[in-house]
Amino acid sequence: MKRHANGNDVVRISISLPSDLLDGFERTMKRIGFTDRSKAIQTAMRAFISENEWTAESSKGAGLIELLYDPKTRNIEKALTLIQHEYNHIVTSSTHIHLDESNCLEVIIVRGNAKSIKRLARELAGNKGIKRIKINFVKVI
């Protein structure tokens, strides 16, 4: 272990990666302006922790649920709206964007505990026609 200039301990690690994953990572880090692989990996690790730390069910915070779905699926809009009404204690607003004939994006802004937000996301994801769901959450510290 080595002491970094900012006072934090720094640990050197070694990892094994598929070459295509490393190539893609390095292309991306250079494209967005990173010149130091260690800094880029640290940033990626912090994002990973932040994106997944909220899953502790006692966490409270706010965020959004992004849904990509096929609008041609029978009654999909009605089903999504009814579910959001059931969770009106955590849904603060939503917006809908028509992307093309086969894709709509619904963004639902939520605030509350992680347990309720995960339950809402599961109910939304369980509908036929949902192509993708992503949760972005900011934990209240």
Give me the percent of the chain exceeding a pLDDT of 70.
Answer: 89
pLDDT on residue 2: 60
Q: How far apart are CA 56 and CA 137, in angstroms?
A: 12
Query: How many other C-beta atoms lie within 10 A of the C-beta of residue 106?
Result: 22
Give me the residue spans of the domains in the chain: 18-53, 60-139
The two beta strands, 91-100 and 9-10, are: unpaired
Q: Which residue type occupies 110?
A: V
Q: In a 3-state reduction of DSSP, which class is residue 9?
A: strand
Whether 66 and 136 have beta carbons less than 8 Å apart is answered as yes
Q: How far apart are CA 66 and CA 86, in angstroms?
A: 18
Q: Note the pTM of the prediction, 2 decimals.
A: 0.69
- Which CATH homologous superfamily contains domain 60-139? ACT-like. Chain A, domain 2 (3.30.70.1150)
pLDDT on residue 61: 86
Lowest-pLDDT choice from 45-59, 92-106, 122-136: 45-59
